Amino acid sequence: MSNDGFLSFPQSFLWGVSTSAYQIEGAVDEDGRGLSIWDTFCRQPGKVRNGENGDVAADHYHRWQEDVHIMAELGLKAYRFSIAWPRILPSGYGAVNPKGLDFYGRLVDALLAKGIEPFPTLYHWDLPQALQDRGGWPNRDTAYYFAEYAQVIAEALGDRVTYWITHNEPFVAAVLGYFTGEHAPGVQDPVAAFQAGHHLLLSHGLAAQALRETARLRPHVGIALNLSPVYPASESEADRQAAVRFDGVLNRMFLDPLFRRQYPQDLLNLLGGLFPQPEPGDLDRIGAPLDFLGVNYYSRIVVRHDPEFPLIQAVQVQPEGAEYSQMWEIYPQGMYDLLTRIWADYRPAYVLVTENGIPVADAPDLDGRVRDERRIRYLRDHLVQVHRAMSDGVPLRGYFVWSLLDNFEWAHGYAMRFGLVYVDYATQQRIVKDSGRWYAQVVAENGVRVGE
């Protein structure tokens, strides 16, 4: 696959970009959209940097045609976006809002017309507020409402969409949403968090079944997990055990039920009564075969034993001498370690890297160009590791950069710019960054030049 200085990828490789609804769309009270938990959360003082919110974001709801045009110009093969549940079912269930369905129908048609494969994600954290008012994800009913929503979407788009992602990062939705409270709905209750985690997984299983029963095109159904390889900070036995526990909560808590129909026994022992009792049949639903696994990878985790830390007695440390972005350590080798480990332990049918990217504090230079060399380097270094994993047998069929556009980065507000395309929030002007041009070249050549 490779020769000197150039790593080539398989012909049908899916080169894509990812976004999510609340982070780019804006238009939060247009065309019948209901409130989401992020609308509510952003209005609570101190939750989001500078009190920012997604009311306007990158104004994609009005500028989607321009954004599709940019993707076509970059030659992209695939676009992963999310559907805002509160646009489709403003109260979470019951009455369907046809204008919401129309928006995504038009988007899908425009993508297909340009030869870009749509990859909708059904849930990227914007739960209808009406469902949070009934308890949110800790309430088991939410899983069944999610399946109803999936069915509505499958009826509307299942004649055109092949690839589906049920959830984005259920770990983050459960743990940051209901345990640490850093994300909407801002609850801080470990029992609620573990219930949320289980119900998110259950809802994945129910929605996957609804998609398979309803979509006209045979669907490829997957889920996107945030996964990181976890390494001990030292060779001590205590640190090693801490890394096993951290890996349990972050990775195996989701991978084991999805691929083995069981929660990891060491975690159940650790968490005891905090962990919800799955009802009979839940694990069979959750573990029904997936068509693909989506992997969101940004960084590794290094941990040490800490008896003070609740539950898992393990804390993340930032290793000295490492390279850092504004948010995380930069560790390309972790991509390889993670992909090969997933393949060895779980044997997914195939894998897509559904997110990978870096925040860079970039801005246009005097000539209007955005020279984000650091992003190019990050993406290139990670693609080298992706390629290595494929050469070692990992069945990887696609790679999606987070993100197409600069956007609303949750609790960080607009401070973090992840886009291949710069957004001037004052004017909503889009400028393709140097990284965007570089990625277009990767797609056009179907490979990565290294050592340049």
Q: Given candidates 410, 414, 422, 438, which one binds ligand FCB under the rule CB under 6 A?
A: 410
For residue 187, give the amino acid letter: V
At a CB cut-off of 8 Å and minimum separation 6, what does 25 contact?
54, 57, 58, 59, 60, 61, 84
User: CB 414 → ligand FCB: shortest distance, Å?
Assistant: 12
Q: Which stretch binds ligand FCB (CB under 6 A): 115-123, 155-163, 168-176, 329-337?
A: 168-176
| 406 sits near ligand FCB (criterion: CB under 6 A) | no
Task: Based on the residue annotation, tell me whether 452 is a catalytic residue of this protein.
Answer: no
- The answer to whether residue 414 forms part of the interface with ligand FCB (CB under 6 A) is no
Name the minimum Å distance from CB 332 to ligand FCB. 17
Separation between Cα atoms, residue 267 and residue 275, nearest integer Å: 9
- Binding residues among 304-333 for ligand FCB as defined by CB under 6 A: none
Options 7, 9, 13, 20; binder of ligand FCB; rule CB under 6 A:
20
Q: Does 409 bind ligand FCB (CB under 6 A)?
A: yes
- In the annotation, is 373 catalytic? no
Task: Give the 3-state secondary structure of residue 129.
Answer: helix
User: What would the DSSP string read from start to end of 322-385?
Assistant: -EE-SSSEE-THHHHHHHHHHHHHH--S-EEEEE----------TTS----HHHHHHHHHHHHH
In angstroms, what is the minimal distance from the CB of 310 to ligand FCB?
23
Residue 122's closest CA among 30, 29, 20? Answer: 20
Evaluated on CA atoms 330, 332, 335, 340, the torsion sign reads negative
Nearest-approach distance from CB 98 to ligand FCB, in angstroms:
27
Binding status of residue 15 toward ligand FCB by CB under 6 A: no
Does residue 239 belong to the site contacting ligand FCB (CB under 6 A)?
no
Indicate the residue among 14 and 21 with the shorter CB distance to ligand FCB: 21
If the CB atoms of residues 317 and 411 are measured against ligand FCB, the closer one turns out to be: 411
383 Cβ partners below 8 Å, 6+ apart? Answer: 7, 399, 442, 448
Cα–Cα distance measured from residue 366 to residue 253, given in angstroms and rounded to the nearest whole number:
49
Residue numbers 188-207 binding ligand FCB by CB under 6 A = none
Question: In the range 212-231, which residues lie near ligand FCB by CB under 6 A?
Answer: 226
Looking at the Cβ atoms of 15 and 410, the one nearer to ligand FCB is: 410
d(CA 124, CA 41): 15
For 29-68, strand residue ranges (E) read none
Nearer to ligand FCB, 247 or 355 (CB): 355
First to last CA, the chain: 19
343: contact with ligand FCB by CB under 6 A? no
Instruction: Establish if 296 lies at the interface with ligand FCB (CB under 6 A).
Output: yes
Exactly one of 169, 182, 323, 452 is catalytic; name it.
169
Q: Which residues are known catalytic residues?
A: 169, 355
Which residues are at the interface with ligand FCB (CB under 6 A)? 20, 23, 168-169, 172, 226, 296, 355, 402, 409-410, 418
